[in-house]
Amino acid sequence: MAGNELTQEVLRELIAIRRVAEKLCDAMAGNRTMTKKEFAERVGLSVATVSRDMAKQIVPHLKRGRRVLFTEKHAEQYLAQFEQPVKTLEQARVRRRK
């Protein structure tokens, strides 16, 4: 029995190590998924705002059944929609005269 329990403990440890390794690989590859709450924190908005924008179909996301997931790519795409053009220093110095 002691040998069998030891084998099961080792297997549990190996499974836990594999899960951590998979998460690290996904994070390094940019494939880590986020929950709605994590996505909201990443883009600096409330969960309610993310939900509202999802209803408007302007938030890219993955959906499987009731589960909604986001990736870093989705966050970048979403934020890019709100990017404002930047003036050059020369344009910023020019003032309108009346």
Q: What is the pLDDT of residues 59-87, one digit of tens each?
A: 999 988 888 999 989 999 999 998 888 88
Domain count, the chain: 2
Identify which has the larger pLDDT, 84 or 91.
84
Burial class (CB within 10 angstroms; exposed 0-12, middle 13-18, buried 19+) of 33: middle
Is residue 90 situated within a structural domain?
no
Q: How far apart are CA 89 and CA 62, in angstroms?
A: 41
Q: Are 73 and 37 members of one domain? A: yes
- pLDDT of 24: 65
Q: Which residue range(s) make up the domain with 54?
A: 32-83
* Number of Cβ within a 10 Å radius of residue 18: 10
- Long-range contacts of 51-58, Cβ-Cβ distance < 8 Å, separation of 24 or more: 53/78
**Mean pLDDT computed over 52-62:** 93
Q: Are residues 49 and 69 in the same domain?
A: yes
